[in-house]
A and B are shown apart, each in its own frame.
Chain A
């Protein structure tokens, strides 16, 4: 049976809140930072989903376009009809993830990288970001101050009156194990753990299809490809 993608979208409150009828004025596109950088037009997103055309929505779910948005939500402020293309994008991305269609586009495939970094740091440390995982090789923009700080973290945090990775309150404290256990249980009961597993399975399938080496580490060919590769059709020239 063919999936009714529009119907799937309507089960997401962000979709129903995100579109109430687009008049195609293009105000969202004028204000959109992503539209300035990528070949992207949020007006087209809103206009496409309101047609309820299953084939066109399938194209969105399996294409690059839905991954260009930065979710800054500038579109929400300016839309004269109170639509929010950014919210529609969030619902489309969630559906692309649940159906595995994210692996069909270059930008969508990057979701495995996001899962293996941010996604896993949340469950390992209790933080979305963790500085010791952010190397200067991956983040040269951090600059020399980052390297200097990382060599003196205990002293630096001490200067601010806290113990780095210490017990008790403070920045980058060690989150207590009972709290981490609660966080993991929340991920289990609300479906996030299953989604993580599904991202891995679908990515492994796609890597095999593309003939790229795939393993659980960050240094396999598939990971290198999705983290670094950029086709030249995404951006404006």
Chain B
């Protein structure tokens, strides 16, 4: 009975996720802070899994941060999102793959609003027609990009030479998974596993052999808070939220943090640097921080992509300790090289947080381009 009950409960939190032919819409935060991550998603989908993903360079911000900072009216946001739907429709696609969690939450909110208040959809169509003469179809399938990676995780694992297993001890690596609030806190049934037990990242990490850390502040917000970060006078809110999470996860000695939201990896990465500068405190091993990766960066590493081709040099907290644990061969000196091998200089060193790894064991089989 109990098992049947559990199955029934979980069925409520399953979602249909398309497996091919996507129209991809990008994230403002990720394009600015982790531009390599979105490119890695496309590379995983197109090169490693042979999927079709369309893009239209004419898609814009969904206005999500402006909307949640309360300077962009709901009607405006609905119409901008309707324009993205129009571009998808014009590309002959029905499956929308959304890079951003704020966008994903907003698209979900808008579709729910249109369902319950049909007059808002009619009005949005009228606005869009007036402003752009475009028409649109509602997506047949709306998925966050992390949903798609979750759905395809077994295909990924089959192709992955590297796992979330300590290369030296054979033990599973300890993974903190942090889910963006707007993934499922507003509409739990639209996320894999709901809001209390979201499984979208945990499922990926487990498939790669990792062990999930269940720590007290696991579901606490990273602290973006929109206007609470954007305005300098409020920024202590954001830092305090992230610090609360770091202090809560620290005793479990996580090997990495993975996230599915654009803002979260940024805050969990940068606020570790800020805590170190303010208090001299670091949360990782030997003066390093806890590496913070997006789900694509993790999958890219597992698939054997070069760490510096997927953008790990754009993080303030170094990922090298994780690479060593996973047994991934890499060349530290290539971290700051351009594509043609030109040296781009290197960032200044923070006072306390270690950002480079001078001494690493590099696999001798790795060629000069590796």
Does A144 lie within 8 Å of B350, measured CB to CB? yes
Interface string of B202-222 (1 = CB under 8 A from A): 000000000000000001110
> How far, in angstroms, from A190 to B80 measured CA to CA in the complex?
10
Q: Which residues in B have their C-beta under 8 angstroms from that of A229?
A: 233
19 A-B pairs in the complex with CB atoms less than 8 angstroms apart = A37-B241, A70-B221, A71-B226, A77-B186, A77-B195, A114-B227, A119-B72, A126-B61, A127-B61, A131-B32, A141-B273, A143-B347, A146-B316, A152-B338, A156-B314, A179-B58, A183-B80, A185-B132, A226-B231
> How far, in angstroms, from A113 to B80 measured CA to CA in the complex?
23
Closest chain B residue to A231 by CB distance? B233
Does B233 lie within 8 Å of A230, measured CB to CB? yes
Q: Which residues in A have their C-beta under 8 angstroms from that of B239?
A: 141
> How far, in angstroms, from A131 to B220 measured CA to CA in the complex?
27
Interface set, chain B 106-148, CB cutoff 8 A to A: 113, 116-117, 120, 127-128, 130-132
Stretch at the interface among A22-30, A50-58, A162-170, A204-212: A162-170
> How far, in angstroms, from A106 to B227 measured CA to CA in the complex?
13
Q: Which residues in B have their C-beta under 8 angstroms from that of A142?
A: 270, 316
Closest chain A residue to B65 by CB distance? A128
Distance (whole angstroms) from the CB of A6 to the closest CB of chain B:
19
Interface string of A173-206 (1 = CB under 8 A from B): 1011011101101111111100110010000000
Q: Which of A69, A73, A168: most chain B CB closer than 10 A?
A: A73
Does A127 lie within 8 Å of B31, measured CB to CB? yes
Interface string of A59-103 (1 = CB under 8 A from B): 000000001011111101100000010000010011001000000
> How far, in angstroms, from A147 to B344 measured CA to CA in the complex?
12
Query: CB of B153 within 8 A of chain A?
Result: no
Residues of B within 8 A of A (CB): 26, 28-33, 35-36, 38-39, 55-61, 63-66, 68-76, 79-80, 83, 105, 113, 116-117, 120, 127-128, 130-132, 181-182, 185-186, 188, 195-196, 219-221, 223-228, 230-237, 239-241, 244, 270-271, 273-274, 308-311, 313-316, 336, 338-339, 342, 344-350, 355
Distance (whole angstroms) from the CB of B249 to the closest CB of chain A:
16
Does B241 lie within 8 Å of A190, measured CB to CB? no
Does A34 lie within 8 Å of B76, measured CB to CB? no
> How far, in angstroms, from A170 to B350 measured CA to CA in the complex?
31
Does B237 lie within 8 Å of A73, measured CB to CB? no
- Chain A interface residue bracket vs B: 35 or more
Given contacts A70-B224, A110-B233, contact A130 B35 (CB under 8 A): no
> How far, in angstroms, from A199 to B274 measured CA to CA in the complex?
33
Does A159 lie within 8 Å of B113, measured CB to CB? no
Q: Which residues in A have their C-beta under 8 angstroms from that of B26?
A: 171
Known: A175-B58, A230-B234. 14 other contacts (CB 8 A): A37-B237, A70-B223, A73-B185, A114-B231, A118-B66, A118-B71, A127-B61, A147-B347, A155-B342, A161-B339, A185-B131, A190-B131, A192-B73, A195-B71
Residues of A within 8 A of B (CB): 12-14, 17, 33-34, 36-38, 67, 69-74, 76-77, 84, 90, 93-94, 97, 107, 110-111, 113-115, 117-119, 122, 126-131, 134, 138, 141-149, 151-152, 155-162, 167-173, 175-176, 178-180, 182-183, 185-192, 195-196, 199, 226-230, 235
> How far, in angstroms, from A169 to B224 measured CA to CA in the complex?
28
Does A73 lie within 8 Å of B39, measured CB to CB? no
The 8 Å CB contact of B76, one of A143, A175, A187, is A187
Q: Which residues in A have their C-beta under 8 angstroms from that of B61?
A: 122, 126-128
Closest chain B residue to A119 by CB distance? B71
Distance (whole angstroms) from the CB of A8 to the closest CB of chain B:
14
The 8 Å CB contact of B66, one of A12, A122, A175, is A122
Given contacts A114-B231, A185-B132, contact A128 B345 (CB under 8 A): no
> How far, in angstroms, from A185 to B83 measured CA to CA in the complex?
12
> How far, in angstroms, from A36 to B235 measured CA to CA in the complex?
14
Closest chain A residue to B86 by CB distance? A182
Does A151 lie within 8 Å of B315, measured CB to CB? no
The 8 Å CB contact of A228, one of B224, B233, B345, is B233
> How far, in angstroms, from A129 to B65 measured CA to CA in the complex?
8
Closest chain A residue to B263 by CB distance? A129
Does B227 lie within 8 Å of A171, measured CB to CB? no
Closest chain A residue to B124 by CB distance? A190
Distance (whole angstroms) from the CB of B110 to the closest CB of chain A:
11
> How far, in angstroms, from A221 to B141 measured CA to CA in the complex?
49
Does B79 lie within 8 Å of A186, measured CB to CB? yes
Q: Which residues in B have their C-beta under 8 angstroms from that of A119?
A: 66, 71-72
